[in-house]
Amino acid sequence: MFYSSKDLKFQLFEHIKVSELCKLPYFQEHSQETFELVLDAADKIAVHQLRPLLTEMDRQEPKLTADGIKVHPGMRKIIQTFGEDGWINATFSFEEGGQQLPNTMHMAAGFIFQAANYSSSVYPFLTTGAANLIRTFGSQELIDKFTPNMYNGKWQGTMALTEPDAGSSLSDLSTTAYPTEKEGVFKIKGQKIYISCGDHDACENIIHLMLARIEGAPAGVKGISLFVVPKINVDTGLPNDVRTEGVYHKMGYKGAPIAHLMMGSEDLCEGYLVGEAHRGLSYMFQMMNEARVGVGMNAGAIATAAYYSSLAYAKERPQGRKIGEKDPSQPQVSIIEHADVKRMLLFQKAITEGSLSLLLYCSKLGDMAHAGKGEAKVNAALLLGLLTPIAKSYPSEMGCLSTSAAVQVLGGAGYTTDFPVEQYYREARIHPIHEGTTGIHGMDLLGRKIVIQEGKAVQLLMAEMIQSIARAKTVKQTDSFASTLEKYMQKAQQVTGHLLQKAGKNPEVYLSDATLYLEFLGILVIAWRWLEQGMDASSQLEISTQDSEFYHGKLMAMEYFFEYELVKMGALEKRLLSEKITTIAMQTEWF
């Protein structure tokens, strides 16, 4: 078991209430029944196609050959399945051949794939993201030229942003596009690094959505344009001068190839401008929320798989006796009987299920921002923007600690390759880095999202929390937790107000602990999601005795989060209210 179907369905149908989306015209063809079919279909693929390759794909890394990068031979069949079964364009409109599936359900299915075998799940999701850019901002000609074979899985899509001298600092990218006589067609010259699925042999072509600077464009972020750059020219069938310079060897997530690409070394690389010139970065950023929530989901899914692996081990592994039992002739107990092991399991449960709640909540906001109407649509977009850095970073950062707890539950066995938890530990570590490091998201939250529209997004979040608290106070099992959350919410308001005073005076000081603020607000938000889960579990316990063990577990995980995690806000508060500018005062030469 690498995820809990019961929990996923609870989260979707009883907690997030995804079926409410079916009231929106865009999703009206759907219902809880069709959603459950989606989950069942995802489970089948995950169990039968992805999961069996989990270990093999880690052990047989992609290799660079004279013909490009070779990946595990099983990937071809997997990508075909994703294409043929309609997963790649599932969220797109009926007119485009899609299924108008809510993004929330696409993310839920993704969660299943990622928990089964993270590396394999990356390929189709990247193609979805790349195709989404073309269909949203590209001309009909580009859409017709590229998207059909991306949707059916024949061609791989990528997002080609990073360059050797422009990692977190996109404004410095230097790949250049030179106009040609053909309208909309440019000659591309430059290099890109760390391109996920940037080259491989499980598809017939690779379609890069690439950022580059048109010759003579202004410096900085405003001079960046978006291009489609295929590996093979789709008109001529000839190579398009995109050379694979290397494949990165990584600590984990080894089943997906990460490429170093060189464009135009023979001056023959053609790229097609997407939308208007110089607007590439803004196009990219309009897709960012989804991609970033997606990374949070990856991290949460890996941590979930690790949690269930350690849970199974803890139930089976006999070791030691209960405290107070001194008789060595008594049989040993399963380690799950030890309080400290239960603590490590509860920690994982609280982190992974709390993260999943936030991620699905954000996904639903995305659906409302896309298909909703009026104020609800606008507010959903604002709230999603605010929560995105948290939804990306909290599961990523805490996912590393959660998988670490899984390793610890297994002890020495967890450190060996005999169990998958060590692989999860290695795979978890990428998420605080890619799609914006945690530091970048801290600055995004505090420097941008908190202040836009005079703090309207924060006000929306607080209004939601106040509503939750009011409701939770009327429920016996959540009453005291609601009061606790209220106090911490007030702490958060005080800290935010305190920091905002510094914003104008000294932006460097203001942002110097942005990463801590991100963690601080993240804990509050997850506590709120747990309060909501606690209420929903209470409701179910009132309705029937079915699955009562599951719902009791939810209430205990809520309690765990409040007892062991929420209190951490106090330590962060103390630092965030301090006037000492330690990190700024530290000098390079003093290290």
559 touches its own copies by CB under 8 A: yes
Of residues 449-468, those binding its own copies (CB under 8 A): none
Contact 158, 196 (CB under 8 A): yes
Of residues 281-340, those binding its own copies (CB under 8 A): 311, 315, 318-324, 326, 328-329, 332, 334, 336-340
For Cα atoms 242, 64, 190, give the angle at the middle one, nearest 5 degrees: 25
Site string for its own copies, 567-586 (x = CB under 8 A): xxxxxx-xx--x-x-xxxxx
Least Å distance between CB 122 and its own copies? 14
437 touches its own copies by CB under 8 A: yes
550 touches its own copies by CB under 8 A: yes
Site string for its own copies, 382-411 (x = CB under 8 A): ------------------x---x--xx--x
Contact 164, 173 (CB under 8 A): no
Q: Evaluate the CA torsion angle 84, 88, 89, 91 in order and state its sign.
A: positive
Alpha carbons 443 and 446: distance in angstroms, whole number:
5
Of residues 161-190, those binding its own copies (CB under 8 A): 162, 165, 167-169, 171-172
Alpha carbons 338 and 41: distance in angstroms, whole number:
38
Alpha carbons 394 and 400: distance in angstroms, whole number:
10
Of residues 347-366, those binding its own copies (CB under 8 A): 349
426, 471, 473, 502: residue in contact with its own copies (rule CB under 8 A): 426
| Stretch binding its own copies (CB under 8 A), from 145-153, 374-382, 495-503, 510-518 | 510-518
Query: Between the CA atoms of 362, 367, 373 and 375, what dihedral angle is there, to the nearest 10 degrees?
Result: 10
The position carrying tokens 């997530």 is: 253
Alpha carbons 108 and 110: distance in angstroms, whole number:
5
255, 271, 432, 522: residue in contact with its own copies (rule CB under 8 A): 432
Least Å distance between CB 199 and its own copies? 16
Q: Is 514 left (phi over 0), alpha (psi -120 to 50) or beta?
A: alpha
220 touches its own copies by CB under 8 A: yes
Alpha carbons 12 and 2: distance in angstroms, whole number:
18
Nearer to its own copies, 77 or 552 (CB): 552
Least Å distance between CB 154 and its own copies? 29
Nearer to its own copies, 87 or 424 (CB): 424
Alpha carbons 577 and 563: distance in angstroms, whole number:
23
22, 234, 268, 433: residue in contact with its own copies (rule CB under 8 A): 433
Of residues 240-269, those binding its own copies (CB under 8 A): 248-252
Q: How far is CA 165 from the centre of its chain?
A: 25
Instruction: Tell me the residue type at 202.
Output: A
Least Å distance between CB 449 and its own copies? 16
17, 497, 507, 546: residue in contact with its own copies (rule CB under 8 A): 507
In this structure, how many other beta carbons lie within 10 angstroms of the beta carbon of residue 542?
11
Nearer to its own copies, 132 or 438 (CB): 438
